[in-house]
A and B are shown apart, each in its own frame.
Chain A
């Protein structure tokens, strides 16, 4: 395996599923580490350099959500959650814990690979910003070079996806942007229908930047269309 290839940590208590993910990623030049539960996964994560974590939610000993929360305490590494539960609340819960994306079982090879690539691409954008610039919108200052957001003098800690979403919204301040447009530009061309991602991320961003998240000043909802940054 190439040392340039990203290393993916696959965590699932079901061996067949774990193997399925591992085999597909390995054959496409990813380095793969596997773990059968959360505790094992944390041990591996702390040992190796991991570029992406694929994590099942339902596992014995330490479930996927708790594992995500613990990883998020130290790292902004992209995390894809695997879940058998298609419920909206589970997705929201996963995003709240810091997941970047999720896959609902059963899923096919195509879905798996496109999500992996998209998540890695987003992470790379954040790591290597194209332009050195600062965007300032009233009290909010985004430093693209340093990957920092400063609101009313306070430095915020944002995940790459949150950062990318906020920067995208700030760049197009004043314009109403559709769900699809935002998703394709922030998450990647594979996305477009996942309006609930936006709902979760907008919620998280409002919690962080707005004075009163229930009465947002900056991230405004355009009913039936999408969102607009105040401008």
Chain B
């Protein structure tokens, strides 16, 4: 038996014992206190009682002695006594003796101690005997008062006596004494009476001692005149010294007695009263015994109750507790333990009842645990994978084990066909599994019935079931006689049912069905888990993939690095910039990537330093720098940012490299625009101002021809200025997309000539125009087309020089007019030919090669040609430049397009 250790303080037995002691100890204490107090009181009473007895005896004796003393005192005054007249003394003494039965002799001693006379005279007269040796005689010689002698045997009466003595003095002349012998026997008789009045078992002993500690009175006269030591322990000394009190002593026989003593003052004697303590304190002893008996009774009773309680209640409870502890634990309940508990369970009382009900409970719990364990094992096996098909297969394996069947299957709704099919099976033939198709509307299908009612449906014998008749041949071929369908309560997956087949006719019991339903719930959970997981996993992967592709294909380079500089992620653009393949990107450091990007950069050290500062967060985190890549010089802007967690703590760094070459180009173009426009506008202005001031100069008189010439130039230059402004406006329209083309019929030859006129051809220039015959009619916007031609001619003059031969060819190909403007100048470098049509782009920015207006001119040409629906391009030729453009052949009516 496993006895769990319980701290003694918490043990029920100890607790009960403590409670009992708690009640009993005060009671016992009170009892003992009472016993003690009562004992003391009783003892005090007994002692007081004995003392008063002793005192009474002492008083009585004292009285008797006093009387004797008074009597001798009185007798001493008789003249006959003085004179020792025997006859007269005889009479007096006779009378005296008559009144005093306690006195047995009265006598007169002479001054010399000789017995002069005694009464009664008796047979053995001592008259004439010398008694001067007697202590009382000796004492009387020095005393004038009456006195008492010690006890002794009177030779005269031969009895134990004590003598009352009166010395007789005549003045100072000692005449002898008169004395009476007090019978000690009579004293003893008094004591005997007192003792007799007591109960004999009280064991009273009363003794009177004389001053020399002789016993002079004792209930038993045998003890008379014996020394007190013979019967008493040393308790009498205080009494003879005049004190009274009590003492407990053992007597000669070893008996414990209470001795009470008190003095008899007139004689210097003492009274000793004694009795055994056993009788003296009998009450107290009785009370004490009762106390002890009661205590013992309580203790024994308590012990008995406790033992009873332990054996009958606590022990069974402990058994019970270890039993209930064992229920469901790994070890289970041992046979020995079970036997012990079983014996207790036979008891008819509440404990027995409790044990019986717990045993029943244990049994049912064990059954349930077993069931759950089985289910748990099966579902553990089932959920150990998330692949839906594997899950189904495992489920069926578990069904085989759990229900000890060979054939089972799961049917699910095939959503594409809207029919139920076997999704997974065990023990069924492949043909059966493939052929079985259940229409959702089939009323005879057991699966459908189960799914529609959401309750298990069974056929206990296929041969006898009418609804199964149509499927009987199939069932016979597969070899099953009974089957059950359990619906799966699916929510997120298609409807499904679990089928279990048996080869024999079988009625599935309630327990079997319950177990199947429970199992089906586990199965549902597993199927749904697997399906949902595969769905969400797919979605997550898709999303991650999408974000990754997005970041990956950003035109900006992105690096995410750990704080210590290792690259966590770098996108494709970084790979391009650093010439690293994706593999290399993963296993590298930011430092390495930077070094590779900056490989051919001018001022490499300086830029590297700046980037390092930005990375350490010291300086501005935006840095622009040029790098030389395989596609030429590009400008990058590096932005460094901290990647922080939700608490704002930096966990890494991000670096974004943005290609700002185009932005830089735009900036360059903008400043180029300003300087170009400034130059373009100032050139004609310079001529205008120059000639105007020339005409205005006071110191020179110009002839009329010159004046006219100057004014003409002023006018021409003003036209040029205005054309330039028109060009700028056109350009801005082209750039903003607001250019309107209005096509009308034009003559090509006329257009060329008019453009040439405005193109300021130099005297040395030669213009050749070659028109293809049979040109169709050209519909175009004449001012715009003229501008195109004029710009091209001007460019030819500018680049080819004053002596240039300029040739304009026009032909028609594929419904397009093709215009070619050729010169015999230096030509256009091949690598520049693509860019010359960009606004403000001029071949080589060095001023030496710049001809005014070219930067705008070609861009304007391109805009205007494109507005006509045509294209402009350069054509390489052996010497000089050739720029060509096309204008589509259109019919009237197709015009007015934007």
Contact = CB atoms under 8 A, between A and B. Distances in A.
Interface of A: 13-17, 19-21, 23-24, 27-28, 36, 38, 57-63, 65-66, 82, 84-86, 105-110, 112
B683 A27 contact: no
A63 B799 CA distance: 14
B848 A23 contact: no
Given A14-B686, A84-B679, A85-B675, A108 B848 contact: no
A65 B848 CA distance: 9
Contacts of A17: 683, 686-687, 690
B706 A23 contact: yes
Contacts of B754: none
A112 B696 CA distance: 14
Given A105-B682, A105-B689, 14 more contacts: A17-B687, A20-B687, A20-B690, A20-B691, A20-B713, A58-B850, A60-B849, A60-B850, A63-B846, A65-B847, A105-B685, A106-B682, A106-B685, A109-B697
Nearest to B802: A36
**Most central of B683, B692, B697, B848 by chain A CB within 10 Å:** B848
B694 A23 contact: yes
B697 to A, nearest CB: 5
A110 B799 CA distance: 33
A59 to B, nearest CB: 7
Contacts of B802: 36
A43 to B, nearest CB: 15
B678 interface: yes
Which 8 A-B residue pairs are closest in the complex by CB-CB distance? Answer: A106-B689, A108-B693, A105-B686, A20-B690, A84-B682, A16-B687, A109-B693, A106-B686
B717 interface: yes
A28 B799 CA distance: 34
Given A17-B690, A38-B848, A106-B688, A84 B683 contact: yes
Contacts of B702: 27
Given A28-B700, A61-B848, A62-B848, A110 B687 contact: no
Given A16-B713, A58-B679, A63-B848, A24 B694 contact: yes
Interface string B708-737: 000001001100000000000000000000
Contacts of A65: 847
A150 B519 CA distance: 113
B851 interface: yes
A62 B850 CA distance: 10
B700 A27 contact: yes
Interface residues of B, number: 37
Contacts of A19: 713
Contacts of B56: none
A94 to B, nearest CB: 12
B852 interface: yes
A85 B678 contact: yes
A24 B209 CA distance: 188
Contacts, number: 95
Given A23-B706, A60-B799, A60-B851, A109 B678 contact: no
Contacts of B47: none
**Which residue, A15, A27, A106, has most C-beta atoms of chain B within 10 A?**
A106
B592 interface: no
B686 A84 contact: yes
Contacts of A106: 682, 685-690
A172 B687 CA distance: 43
A107 B689 contact: yes
B690 A59 contact: no
Contacts of B152: none
24 contacts: A14-B686, A14-B687, A16-B690, A16-B713, A20-B691, A20-B713, A23-B694, A24-B690, A24-B700, A27-B702, A28-B699, A38-B848, A58-B679, A58-B847, A59-B848, A60-B799, A60-B801, A60-B848, A65-B847, A84-B686, A86-B678, A105-B683, A105-B689, A106-B689
Interface string B822-855: 0000000000000000000000001111111000
Grouping DSSP codes into helix (H, G, I), strand (E, B) and loop, the B interface class, with mixed when no group exceeds half, is helix
B658 to A, nearest CB: 30
B481 interface: no
Contact of A60 (B684, B693, B798): B798
Contacts of A107: 686, 689-690
Contacts of A110: 693, 697
B847 A63 contact: yes
B644 interface: no
Given A16-B713, A60-B848, A109 B686 contact: no
Nearest to A82: B686
A106 B686 CA distance: 4
Contacts of B690: 16-17, 20-21, 24, 106-109, 112
Most buried by B among A14, A16, A86, A107: A16
Contacts of A23: 694, 706
Contacts of B717: 16
A29 B688 CA distance: 23
Interface in B786-823: 798-799, 801-802
Nearest to A109: B693
B493 interface: no
B297 interface: no
A206 to B, nearest CB: 28
Interface in B657-696: 675, 678-679, 682-694, 696
B143 interface: no
B850 to A, nearest CB: 6
B762 interface: yes
Nearest to B689: A106
A110 B700 CA distance: 12
Nearest to A14: B683
Contacts of B685: 105-106
A20 B848 contact: no
A105 B699 CA distance: 22
B710 to A, nearest CB: 8
Which of A17, A23, A60, A66 has the most chain B CB within a 10 Å cutoff?
A60
B739 to A, nearest CB: 29
Contacts of B849: 60-61
B683 A109 contact: no
A155 to B, nearest CB: 33
Contacts of B700: 24, 27-28
A57 B687 contact: no
Contacts of A36: 802
A136 B690 CA distance: 46
A17 B686 CA distance: 7
A228 B799 CA distance: 50
A84 B683 CA distance: 7
A48 to B, nearest CB: 21
Nearest to A87: B675
Contacts of B713: 16, 19-20
The residue in B678, B682, B699, B799 that gathers the most chain A C-beta atoms within 10 A of its C-beta is: B682
Given A58-B679, A84-B683, A109 B696 contact: yes
Interface in B836-894: 846-852
Contacts of A24: 690, 694, 697, 700
Contacts of A84: 678-679, 682-683, 686
B851 to A, nearest CB: 5
Given A59-B848, A85-B675, A15 B762 contact: yes
Contacts of A28: 699-700
A114 to B, nearest CB: 12
- Residue from B678, B686, B846, B847 having most chain A Cβ neighbours under 10 A: B686
Contacts of B706: 23
Contact of A58 (B694, B699, B852): B852
B679 A85 contact: yes
A172 to B, nearest CB: 35
A85 B683 CA distance: 10
A112 B717 CA distance: 20
Contacts of B799: 60
Contacts of B692: 108
Nearest to B854: A60
